[in-house]
Structure 1
Amino acid sequence: MAHEGGRARFHRLRVAAVDRLTDDSVALTLAVPPPLREAYRFTPGQHLALRRTVDGAEIRRTYSICSTAPADEAPSSLRVGVRLVDDGAFSTYAHKEIAVDDELEVMTPAGRFTLDPTPTAAGTDTAPGSEPAPATGHYAAVVGGSGITPVLSIAGTLLERAPHARFCLIRSDRSTASTMFLEEVADLKDRYPDRFQLVTVLSREEQQAGLASGRLDQERLTTLLPALLPVERVAGWYLCGPYGLVQSAERTLRTLGVRRERVHEEIFHVDEGPALDRQAAPASAPTPAPPHSTVTAQLDGRSGAWPVRDGESLLETVLRNRPDAPYACKGGVCGTCRAFLVSGEVRMDRNFALEAEETEAGYVLTCQSHPTTEKVELDFDR
């Protein structure tokens, strides 16, 4: 990853192209100048945080890279997909204002929803907590809407670099007109007809051929997946899109006996409401915050300790004193604010980003964490 051994940073990149994909989505191509190319080397599946300031307020949003990762050289350009969100502060700006030759503030790549098909690991799933893949090198993804974006990079890079790997893509969209990256996915099918399998389900439009319309719920997936591919031999499952679809697919795979370490999830849309997450809710009521707490944070080799104000998350406390602390979504979805909990205890309101192996190892999402002990120590550098 670009930021291993160092924290992700923002740089200004020129917009090289703005391509309209659908009525409510665009693709932005960002040119990477030679001095910054190594910093923007990425693993397929990673995302970029884009930043702008409006009336003195900073806005950050994360968008997944859809480009195929170069095998040897660092990338000279990066492409991301942006879906328009109702009243979206950044997506509206991207659709109505961003033009070629504009400059955007772009963080170096981050994220762990990845598959690295290096020559020495062709057919090997290298995502966190994974095991060596079976000899078949078979991979699969279940995606909804803009969840296609990181999977397009994963599938394209894998098929290009690992000549014996296979990839099955099950995608769900409302209609053909709303489907992002139609041409790019069709190109994969043309280039790798024997190794790339595509199944499209439209929830609000009948198709002349293929599956009947309707939602991809758990009942339907339980019947569909075993009919499409050898579920037990798939080396890595990549689930990406709205929370409901990802959870339905995850429960289906669990029912079908797929091991947890082979399932990787990234949530793109989470409805506001109960503090649900991918982990089981605690059996007892959460521990209340102590009246006075202090957080000590290690960041970029420098350490500081600050009092936590009432109701603040640990990230908010750190940002008041270290504005360079890493974050993007503040919603418990992207994982950019991840830190290692050195000491003390915290309560995480939501977690849609960290795998169980990461939380068990001691990592927390600082944007969702509140202290439950008087002293908490974090390490952003680990």
Structure 2
Amino acid sequence: MSKFYKLQITDLRKETADSVSVAFDLPYELYNEFNYKAGQYLTVKFTIGGEEVRRSYSLCSSPVMEEPLRIGVKKVKGGLVSNHINDSLKVGDTVEVMVPEGRFTADIKEGNYKTYYLFSAGSGITPILSILRTVLFREPRSYVHMIYGNSNQESIMFQNELEQLQEQYFDRFVLVHSLSRPKSKWSDLWKSSKDKPYLKGRIDKKTVSRFIGEYPPYAQNAEYYICGPGTMIQNTKEALKDMDVPGERIFTESFGGQTEGADQDAWENATLIAHLDGEKIEVNVPKGKTLLRTLISQGKNPPYSCEGGVCSTCICKVKNGKVHMKNNLALTDEEVADGYALSCQSIPLTESVEIVYE
């Protein structure tokens, strides 16, 4: 059963016109519960319009520095929770929060001698920033080469912090911005230093190849972390594989953008048999409802967090019948082939579907 803790907001910063970062006060007695790794996320819960909603947002703070837990949240068009956080929350408010989770993490140790390549776009910077800051602080022998994609200068989240990190770690940290629709002159972005590198366009295969060619690894032990929309991730992975980068050295986390094909028609009023917490539940799936939302509407408490097909908290195994996932940014092809599905994205394709929450 998902357990939430009430944490108070201690700071709320406007990062761009459509994004904020939110810091939480963590009582001493919860320090161990909320111990986390760079790259993980928090799940927050709100009641909006009479309905309970949960979303997951990555931590941009570092677990090795004495600082509050902080998440970054960018508005999404029509996004119920992201808009609520940006427009309605204020310092002093209390938010229900789950302990950190997530598999997009780096093995960061003081004695490491590595080259880290970090690729991010848009709000995908949030877990990347946590990894970046932790590596620079904890691994004095390691190097970081990073490319960050946005539409223009005004959409760059954490811009001031990134510039400070460049100045502080100038000998170990390379940052290149890539803007698809830059405004005015680039000197407006870097008034104090006009010679910092930038690229025009999106992060595609050509951009990735050029970037690594211009900034080859210092340490041969190199790892590659990618976070952003699905297309950007696919382009980056393909470029890396063309350069013979082993798959086990590539780590991804998808933010926005669907990787699945077009929706399929659900079987209307299909029978759902769900095994949850030792209980066998049988219920009909209403038109337009996912398996997860069907169970929630019956007063059940299945595990879930983001409802975006990203975090995998709601994973279940399909024992009988077939489902279609509207979006899958968390499960591997092998896991899907083994019968696993994200219940927050799954609609029934057969008259009956039986699932198990393991």
TM-score class, shorter-chain normalisation, is 0.7 to 0.9
**Residue 141 of structure 1 is aligned with which of 98, 113, 118?**
118
Q: 1:21 to 1:376 in 2, by over 3 A?
A: same
**Residue 225 of structure 1 is aligned with which of 196, 209, 212?**
212
Aligned residue pair count: 345
* 1:95 lines up with 2:86 in the alignment: yes
Aligned residue for 1:253? 240
Q: 1:288 to 1:327 in 2, by over 3 A?
A: closer
CA displacement, residues 26-71 of structure 1 (integer Å, 9 cap, x when unaligned): 1111111122222221111111122211231223222110001137
Q: 1:182 to 1:290 in 2, by over 3 A?
A: closer
Deviation at 1:231, TM superposition (A): 10
Deviation at 1:256, TM superposition (A): 1.8
Distance 2:308 2:198 in 1: 34
Q: 1:362 to 1:40 in 2, by over 3 A?
A: farther
Aligned residue for 2:76? 85
RMSD (CA atoms): 3.1
* 1:33 lines up with 2:31 in the alignment: no
Aligned residue for 1:242? 229
Aligned residue for 1:297? 275
* 1:19 lines up with 2:6 in the alignment: no
**Residue 112 of structure 1 is aligned with which of 103, 106, 115?**
103
* 1:378 lines up with 2:356 in the alignment: yes
Deviation at 1:291, TM superposition (A): 8.4
Aligned residue for 1:126? none
SS at match of 2:36: coil
**Residue 51 of structure 1 is aligned with which of 31, 45, 49?**
45
Q: 1:40 to 1:346 in 2, by over 3 A?
A: farther
**1:1-382 to 2 correspondence within 5 Å?**
8-70=2-64, 77-118=68-109, 123=112, 136-205=113-182, 206-207=185-186, 208-209=194-195, 210-230=197-217, 233=220, 235-270=222-257, 274-275=261-262, 293-299=271-277, 302-309=278-285, 312-321=289-298, 323-339=300-316, 341=317, 343-344=319-320, 346-349=322-325, 350-356=327-333, 358-359=335-336, 363-370=340-347, 374=352, 376-380=354-358
Asked whether the 8 Å contact 1:342–1:379 carries over to 2, the reply is no
Q: Which residue type is aligned with residue 93 of structure 1?
A: H
SS at match of 2:29: helix
Distance 1:18 1:269 in 2: 23
Distance 2:217 2:118 in 1: 13
Point out the more displaced range, 315-324 or 104-113.
Answer: 315-324
Deviation at 1:79, TM superposition (A): 0.4
Q: Which residue type is aligned with residue 17 of structure 1?
A: D
- Structure 2 spans left out of the alignment, 5+ residues: 187-193
Asked whether the 8 Å contact 1:295–1:314 carries over to 2, the reply is no
Point out the more displaced range, 369-378 or 169-178.
Answer: 369-378
Asked whether the 8 Å contact 2:55–2:307 carries over to 1, the reply is no
Deviation at 1:246, TM superposition (A): 1.7
CA displacement, residues 323-369 of structure 1 (integer Å, 9 cap, x when unaligned): 43222332312322123x27446434231122446546664312223
Deviation at 1:290, TM superposition (A): 11
Deviation at 1:372, TM superposition (A): 6.3
Q: 1:232 to 1:156 in 2, by over 3 A?
A: closer
Asked whether the 8 Å contact 1:32–1:76 carries over to 2, the reply is no
- Structure 1 spans left out of the alignment, 5+ residues: 1-6, 124-135, 277-285
Q: 1:56 to 1:225 in 2, by over 3 A?
A: same
CA displacement, residues 80-125 of structure 1 (integer Å, 9 cap, x when unaligned): 1111223432233222321111111222212211113245xx54xx
Q: 1:363 to 1:197 in 2, by over 3 A?
A: farther
Distance 2:107 2:69 in 1: 17
Aligned residue for 2:190? none
Q: Which residue type is aligned with residue 331 of structure 1?
A: G
Asked whether the 8 Å contact 1:24–1:83 carries over to 2, the reply is yes
Distance 2:340 2:221 in 1: 28
CA displacement, residues 231-269 of structure 1 (integer Å, 9 cap, x when unaligned): 994532111112222221122112222222222222212
Q: Which residue type is aligned with residue 157 of structure 1?
A: T
Distance 2:318 2:307 in 1: 21
Distance 2:48 2:268 in 1: 36
Asked whether the 8 Å contact 2:274–2:354 carries over to 1, the reply is yes
Distance 1:145 1:291 in 2: 39
Asked whether the 8 Å contact 1:140–1:234 carries over to 2, the reply is no
SS at match of 1:156: helix
Distance 1:115 1:320 in 2: 37
Deviation at 1:198, TM superposition (A): 1.3
Q: TM-score, normalised by structure 2?
A: 0.84
Asked whether the 8 Å contact 1:25–1:84 carries over to 2, the reply is yes
Q: Which residue type is aligned with residue 64 of structure 1?
A: S
Deviation at 1:142, TM superposition (A): 0.9
Deviation at 1:17, TM superposition (A): 0.5
